Structure 1
Amino acid sequence: MKKTIGPLFILTSFMALANETPTISVTGTGTISAKPDTFSIVATVETINTNSQTAINDNTQIINKAISQLKKTGLKENNIKTENYSLNYRSDYNSKDGEMKYYVRNQILITSNDLEKAGTVLTALNNGGVNNIGEINFFIADRKELEDKAYKLAYENAKSKASLIAGIDDFKISPKNIDLNYSMPRPMSFMLNNSYKSDDTPIPVTVPNNIDVTASMNVIFYMEK
């Protein structure tokens, strides 16, 4: 009994492997280009002081002034949002003695579908005392239809690659498993500096003519005769 169990198991395993349908794994990508219809800007206000209340008051003053300037551009309440407020007590690494100070940080998120207003918004932030602009993101607000088209192109691309390789030995392919991925457009970095004067002249911003909506997928195909 013991002498036949080992060989029988090996033979059964070998037959199972021999009967297993071979597969091929490929990655496909698809890209659709379209005009952006919305932009967003993230502005950060950070104030520092040895007194917590002073740091908080200074931050609030800048935020309120900036929002007032933004509303003068025609932005509404729903275009402006404050977020990610924090208060920390830590060493000031820029000082020689590492003095402990309070750091108050708050962000303003501006969103608008008036793309030509991006430069005016930057000017308003500058006039409001904000000089830390993390990024400007131009995007398409409702991009589901574009994503669907990009996924379709990605699958066609993956299938074309698999068919080309499988066809060398006259295999036919059918999908086994699909893993989807979506690539968000990268935002434009933007930093205000001291060269900008506090006036009403819009800060130059280049609005992209098109942005890419890119989807990718890894597809495993069965290969059968």
Structure 2
Amino acid sequence: MRRPCLFIFITMIFVAGLHAVAFAQDKPQQPTIDVTGKGTVIVEPNMAVITFAIETSEKKAVDALKKNAQSMKRIMEAIKKTTKEHGTISTSNFSVYPLYERDSLGKDSSARQSPIAYRVNNSLTVQTSTIEEIGILIDTAVDAGANRIGSLSFTRDDLGQIQKQAAAKALENAMEYGEELAKTAGLVIDKILYIQYVPDGAVYRYQRMALAEDGVQTPVSPGRIPVEANVHVSFAVNPSK
């Protein structure tokens, strides 16, 4: 006698569930307007970040390492003397790899022999607040033995606070566009469904450096840098009364 009761009970739940789904499907979805706002704050940079490298090659790996270490020591001492307490230095890359000579006499031209030399590459990144002396810093590093100069960028030490200002401008921009679009379409904004903040990663301004002539400081022009942010906003809207 228990089986029929169980069947009826399950059937009632199933039917009730179908009614709930049908009710949810019949309910019209509220229309939305999705907008992306953009905010930009233009600032003067107060920090410079530059990468220097020393590359050395010798027949023996130990000799290449020793030569590179001696050169890097001179470079670091020269940079510390120039930046003083206004700069920080950190190693950004270090690599040692063998150099081969291809066997052109063998049947397989791609065959490799034993290493003929070893190359060592050591890079360091310098961050300094004395951006007006960045040209002097470049010349100092080159005079000390740096034979490669990587990227040079300018930024701010209070970048997080400036990004907040850019985000606030982006939200204001999105609100203005959302209200204007709703008004033009004969709608009114009911509420905000979500806000998504998307910071712009391109907050640095990279510079190309011209090589200086003997006795002339390397020219570097920092300029001004844009700090940008994007905000995606979704508005729920209703017909205008």
Confirm or deny that 1:125 pairs with 2:148. Answer: no
TM-superposed deviation, 1:174: 2.3
Is it true that 1:67 corresponds to 2:76 in the alignment?
Answer: yes
Q: TM-score, normalised by structure 2?
A: 0.76
TM-score normalised by length of structure 1: 0.81
Determine the C-alpha separation between the residues in 1 that align with 2:60 and 2:134. Answer: 36
Deviation per CA, 1:94-141: give whole Å up to 9, x if none: x54566353322222212211211000000111011121111111111
| Offset of residue 78 of structure 1 | 6.6
Which amino acid is 1:39 matched to? A
Q: 1:102 to 1:220 in 2, by over 3 A?
A: farther
SS at match of 2:150: strand
How far residue 222 of structure 1 moved from its aligned partner, in angstroms, is 1.6
Q: Which residue of 2 aligns with 1:12?
A: 23
**1:177 matches 2:194:** yes
Work out the CA distance in 1 between the residues paired with 2:145 and 2:99: 25
Question: In structure 2, what residue type is equivalent to 1:222?
Answer: A
Contact 1:39-1:111 within 8 A present in 2 as well: yes
Give the whole-Å Cα distance in 2 for the aligned partners of 1:190 and 1:80. Answer: 22
**Structure 2 vs 1, CA of residues 65 and 77 (structure 1 numbering), >3 Å: closer, same or farther?**
farther
Q: C-alpha separation between the residues in 1 aligned to 2:24 and 2:119?
A: 65
Unaligned stretches of 5+ in structure 1? none
Deviation, 1:200, is: 5.8
Would the aligned equivalents of 1:42 and 1:107 in 2 still touch at CA under 8 Å?
A: yes
Q: Provide the residue aligned with 1:202 in structure 2.
A: 217
Greater Rg over alpha carbons, structure: 2
Contact 1:119–1:204 under 8 Å retained in 2:
yes
How far residue 203 of structure 1 moved from its aligned partner, in angstroms, is 0.9
35 and 87 in structure 1: CA distance in 2 versus 1, 3 angstrom threshold:
closer
Name the structure 2 match of 1:186: 204
The Cα of 1:22 is off from its aligned counterpart by 2.1
What secondary structure does 2:45 align onto? coil
- Give the match for residue 39 of structure 1: 48
CA root-mean-square deviation: 2.9
Seen in structure 2, the aligned counterparts of structure 1 residues 139 and 196 have a Cα distance that, compared at 3 Å, is same
Deviation at 1:150, TM superposition (A): 0.8
Asked if residue 51 in structure 1 is aligned to residue 60 in structure 2, the reply is yes
Give 3-state SS (helix, strand or coil) of 2:126's partner.
strand
Question: Which portions of structure 1, spanning 4 or more consecutive aligned residues, are displaced by more than 6 angstroms?
Answer: 4-7
1:109 equivalenced with 2:118 (yes/no):
no
Count of residue pairs the alignment pairs up = 216
The within-5 A match list for 1:77-92 is: 79-92=87-100
Q: 1:50 to 1:5 in 2, by over 3 A?
A: farther
CA contact (8 A) 2:86 2:130 kept: no
